[in-house]
Amino acid sequence: MPTVNAIDISLQHVLERTGPHVVLGIPLGIGKPNVWVNALYRWIADRPGHSLRIITALSLQKPQAHSDLEARFLKPFAERVFADYPDLDYAHDLQAGTLPGNVEVCEFFFKTADYLHNPLAQQNYICSNYTHVARDMMNFGVNVLAQEIAVREEPGKRRYSLSCNPDVSLDLHDLLVEHDLRTRVLLVGVINRQLPFMLNDAEVDEQLFDMIVDDPKACHTLFAPPNMKVSLADYSIGLYASTLIADGGTLQIGIGSLGDAIAQSLILRERHNLSYKAMIADLPAASLPLHPQTEPFTQGLYGCSEMFVNGFLRLYQAGILKRRVYPDLALQTLLNAGKIQDTLRASVWTTLRDEQILPRHLDPEHLSWLQKFGLLDSAFLLDREHLRLGRLTLPNDLDDAHTLQALGQHVEGRQLRGGFFMHGGFFIGPRDFYQALRDLPEDERAGICMGRISFINQLYGQEALARAQRRQARFINTTMMVSLLGAAVSDGLEDGRLISGVGGQYNFVAMAHELADARSILLLRATREGEQGTESNIVWNYGHTTIPRHLRDIVITEYGIADLRGRPDHHVIERLICISDSRFQYDLMEQAKSAGKLAAHWTIPSWAQNNLPEQLRSRLQPWHLRGDLPDFPFGTDFSPDELHIIHALTQLKSSVHHPLDLIKTLLQSTFRSESVPERYLERMQLDHPRTLKQRLLRQLFSGNL
């Protein structure tokens, strides 16, 4: 396994192995070795006799400005936050329509709406469940798999970690070995010393790779999307969702403001329970579950999510993400039944014997098992007759009273080892999230297991263990629209264009129906701003479906919870109308009645007739002003001045679609007497306008401040 210190030399080795036609698999998100991929892309793009097909997802690019004003704001921000993060050349060319003819890019998940108006990207989209991506890569004939990796230098050796993205890489490696195709694919690890070194399944032997590239040019800042503002509508959805999460349960959430809203709601439930309960008491009782979960967490939660996001780390820091699961069915079963606890007692030996997990006389295999999970020190030695630890010698007989007493004293008060409070497939987050992972003490970082997506997103292959670990699971995903019959539209439009991708959503929804006490929860905002103004996200029907109606379960908007599982169609329609925006309820009701799916005499109940933004603000604004529902619960990379500027730019962008408002703003700013703080103008490079355009931009910007 060679280690190569120059990217150019590594490319020579790759092309000697593959020949002129490269089919490259690279992970989604931040696991891509951007600098290495850019070098390969440029090399092949300049050689018509060669070809490159890239199979990946989430090709992350620094934010792009769409106007002069946006550019003035974004450039300094991007330089500060994204620093030396290198954009992907193939993604830039694909977006610009200049991708060379000998290069093809196939993605199975788009960064939201990035390629909505890009025919080539839409044509090459791969519609695949996340769990099938490794299989599809293999069937595409991948001959190179390249990934950024973390390294840890120790005396006399190096350790390697797949860090943020062991998800598909491990699955693909297993498939290649299973089908005797391992030698067909060149596995390349490219070291980036900015990556947090993750342990457990993410830590791999160097022999996994055919080549490791250790070139300083490949080390760069990680892509770090800043936390986005959490609106009052988001908080309302988060508060509703938090009442469904049971103490001792399992949690999946995603990235973005809705994920942050759920995490902050759970932290309020744990740390400010009286305020939390008062917020919940303000919600219409009919829009809540029959038995809402509102008490603080005693057992805590276990995270099992394809994406390990900042919200999970915040829940861990708040003492909520603390229920540990173990990679052993017998041990997990005893924990679930309450027969043993994470903090061990002397009686554990009797329990293990009574449950026939341990034989009367230990053998090397059982000794290793006990040492792995911390029931015995690694220094314990075993011979046929005795257990030995230093001067302590015990009969190797777990039915012997003296042995049981001594082992009980040895284990009393110890903690089980090898448990995980978080299983994740990949991670992405803001800058302080990555730094927090780097700073985690080793014993705490060991509680996070980054691993195979095939384990996290489904039950197949490890069903008994997964069922034991994932008790009372709440798999929470977002969706764009929901039909009145319960189908969800999460990834595309009815004309066939893809917004993002199915990812793991279908897997988690289906899994929720297979686990006895699990629920699938889909979140959506009741309305969106479209070209024609405000539009409802709950619709009668739609020409594209991500989650079919037969898998309908729980849907939450800012106006309440609709429990749809196992309900007849008319109940489903009624419940969804009751959590829709009141401006659209009548039309939705009439459409359902016209189709014969809703009784002619049914009317919207009084408690649901005031589902309006004004009502939402009146209920939650006081808590926002108190600081319980902050705009950025987990901080932000934007400065206070930048947040003020963003507000002004947002108003200005809205005015562009309304020319009269734009003229009004320009006139008002021309004749207004109050001055604009100079620091805002300096930040936007408008403090000394030189051209007519710059003077107009200054006036418009000032008017919106």
Q: Which residue carries 């399944």 as its tokens?
A: 201
Which is nearest to 63 in space by CA: 197, 174, 226? 226
Residue 94, SS3 per DSSP: helix
Tens digits of residue pLDDT in 488-522: 999 999 999 999 999 999 999 999 999 999 999 99
For residue 251, give the H/E element and its range. strand 250-252
Q: What is the mean pLDDT of residues 443-460?
A: 96
Which amino acid is located at 309 in the chain? V
Which amino acid is located at 108 in the chain? F
Measured on CA atoms in the order 444, 446, 452, 456, is the torsion positive or negative? negative
Q: Which residue carries 């930048």 as its tokens?
A: 642
CATH 3.40.1080.20, the chain: domain bounds: 232-302+452-608
Q: State yes or no: pLDDT of 663 exceeds 90.
A: no
Tens digits of residue pLDDT in 33-48: 999 999 999 999 999 8
Residue 608, SS3 per DSSP: helix
Q: State yes or no: pLDDT of 688 exceeds 80.
A: yes
319 DSSP assignment: T
**d(C-alpha 390, C-alpha 380), whole Å:** 8
What are the DSSP calls for 467-526, one per residue? HHHSTTEEEEEE-SEEETTS-EE-SB-TTS-BSS--TTHHHHHHHHHHSTT-EEEEE--S
Which amino acid is located at 113 in the chain? A
Cβ-defined contacts of 242-246 (< 8 Å, 24+):
242/266, 242/269, 242/293, 243/280, 243/288, 243/289, 243/292, 243/293, 243/294, 243/561, 244/289, 244/292, 244/293, 244/474, 244/519, 244/521, 244/554, 244/561, 245/293, 245/301, 245/474, 246/293, 246/472, 246/474
Helix, strand, coil percent values for the chain (each to nearest 5): 40, 15, 40
Give 131's contacts (C-beta < 8 A, 6+ positions apart): 453, 454, 457, 458, 504, 507
**d(C-alpha 201, C-alpha 423), whole Å:** 10
Q: Which residue carries 């009701």 as its tokens?
A: 589
Q: Judge: domain 232-302+452-608, CATH 1.20.140.10.
A: no
**d(C-alpha 514, C-alpha 493), whole Å:** 29
Two tokens at 85? 């993060």
Tens digits of residue pLDDT in 289-329: 989 999 999 999 999 999 999 999 999 999 999 999 999 99
Q: Are 143 and 23 in contact (CB under 8 A)?
A: yes
**d(C-alpha 106, C-alpha 56), whole Å:** 7
**d(C-alpha 477, C-alpha 241), whole Å:** 11
The pLDDT, as a whole number, for residue 671 is 47
Task: Band the pLDDT of 102: cuts 50, 70, 90.
Answer: very high
Q: What is the mean pLDDT of residues 455-467?
A: 95
The pLDDT, as a whole number, for residue 694 is 77
Q: Judge: domain 3-218, CATH 3.20.20.140.
A: no
Tens digits of residue pLDDT in 330-384: 999 999 999 999 999 999 999 999 999 999 999 999 999 999 999 999 999 998 7
Tens digits of residue pLDDT in 577-604: 999 999 999 999 999 999 999 999 999 9
**d(C-alpha 211, C-alpha 215), whole Å:** 12
Q: What is the mean pLDDT of residues 86-99?
A: 97
Q: What is the mean pLDDT of residues 647-665?
A: 58
Q: Are 239 and 633 in contact (CB under 8 A)?
A: no
Two tokens at 702? 């000032």
Task: Band the pLDDT of 683: cuts 50, 70, 90.
Answer: confident
Q: What is the mean pLDDT of residues 236-245?
A: 98
Tens digits of residue pLDDT in 395-442: 999 999 999 999 999 999 999 999 999 999 999 999 999 999 999 999
> Over the range 600-619, which residues count as b (16 or more CB within 10 Å of their CB) and which as e?
eeeebeeebeebebeebeee
CATH 3.40.1080.10, the chain: domain bounds: 3-218
248 DSSP assignment: T
- In this structure, what are the phi and psi dihedrals at residue 546, rounded to the nearest 5 degrees? -100, -45
The pLDDT, as a whole number, for residue 656 is 47
Tens digits of residue pLDDT in 521-541: 999 999 999 888 999 999 999
The pLDDT, as a whole number, for residue 672 is 55
The pLDDT, as a whole number, for residue 530 is 87
The pLDDT, as a whole number, for residue 2 is 78
The pLDDT, as a whole number, for residue 652 is 67
For the chain, percent of residues with pLDDT exceeding 90? 85
